[in-house]
Structure 1
Amino acid sequence: MHIESAAFGSIDVEADQIIEFPAGLPGFEACKRFTFIQTGEHGSVLQMQGVDDPAIVFSVTDPAALGVNYELTLSDADVASLGLTQPEDATVAVIVRQAAVDVGSPADAGLKANFMAPLVVNTATRRGIQKVLEQVGCEITLRGQ
């Protein structure tokens, strides 16, 4: 499949590189298919490129890359939506963004991660969800560097 990405220009994506989010993402419900692109800019940060809408791109990373051990519980509906049969097929990622350096205090500058709405992807079925958490009901452990 050929995509004219607003961020990366002309790219070709194989069918087995596409992850489907059946419900879309909150605020982006019409964009249900994404592919992940390694740009090398920030090491472990990947770009999640929209297939249905090439203008949509999110930066994502494994919470462990941020020094965070992040575990959450999936509901039966989440497991069914993912088609998840083996726990080891699930991977968790968080959407990150670069905060503007000139906004607020220096403490506000840097990488911001959305831990309240992680992405969960079944690598076997290539299906994903964005699990919006109402409250922190998961285990988060920060590691010192």
Structure 2
Amino acid sequence: MTAPAADSATLSVTTHRFGRLTFDRSQCVLFADGLPGFSSCRAFVLLPTAVDALVWLQSLDHPDLALLLLTPDAIEDGRAAIPETLRRDGILSLVVVTLPGQYRPGATVNLKAPIVVDRAAGTGRQIILPDSPFGVAHPFALEALVTRGLKS
């Protein structure tokens, strides 16, 4: 990340996926403990996509790390997976998407450990729900979601 001037509210970072990004410092989301598996990544920015229910969580510490996140309300079982205590005004609950690949024929979402962002405070945390009946690889129809999202 480029160090901002003392009086600047603008930051910029060059990422592998998105190239050079410039954004307001207030858009940063700080994860005090990082994310599980990425403890050294603490500063992120949320980037919109063409589909309202999807956003990218781009690391500002490691330009090659960007996680695709989904609003859980966009999929069946998603709303039920997020406890009511995490559904407060100003709190954004999101789940990590794993894209299809060589060893995984379809997209999945992690409903067991949502990412929670307090937009006003600029902080975030991934919360592991040990008693959740939902798993870390819950299948969902990514293509249908994208098609629906692009039409609206």
The residue identity in structure 2 corresponding to 1:129 is: R
C-alpha distance in 2 between matches for 1:26 and 1:57: 14
The gaps in structure 2 that reach 5 residues or longer are: 1-10, 135-143, 145-152
Give the TM-score of the pair, scaled to structure 2: 0.71
1:48 counterpart letter in structure 2: L
Unaligned runs of 5+ in 1: 80-85, 139-144
Matches within 5 A, 1:124-143: 124-136=120-132
Match of 1:56 in 2: 65
More strand by share: 1
Aligned partner of residue 45 in structure 2, secondary structure:
strand
For the residues of structure 2 that align with 1:116 and 1:94, how far apart are their CA atoms? 9
Per the TM alignment, residue 89 of structure 1 is displaced from its structure 2 partner at its CA by 1.7
Aligned to 1:72: 83
Q: Partner of 1:13: helix, strand, or coil?
A: strand
Task: Name segments (4+ residues, structure 1) moved above 4 Å.
Answer: none
Cα-Cα RMSD: 2.4
- The structure showing larger relative contact order (alpha-carbon pairs under 8 Å, at least 6 residues apart) is 1
What is the match of residue 90 of structure 2?
89
Secondary structure at 1:87 match in 2: coil
* Structure 1 residue corresponding to 2:55, chosen from 42, 46, 50: 46
Count of paired positions: 123
Q: Identity over aligned residues, as a percent?
A: 24
Q: What residue in structure 2 maps to residue 21 of structure 1?
A: 31
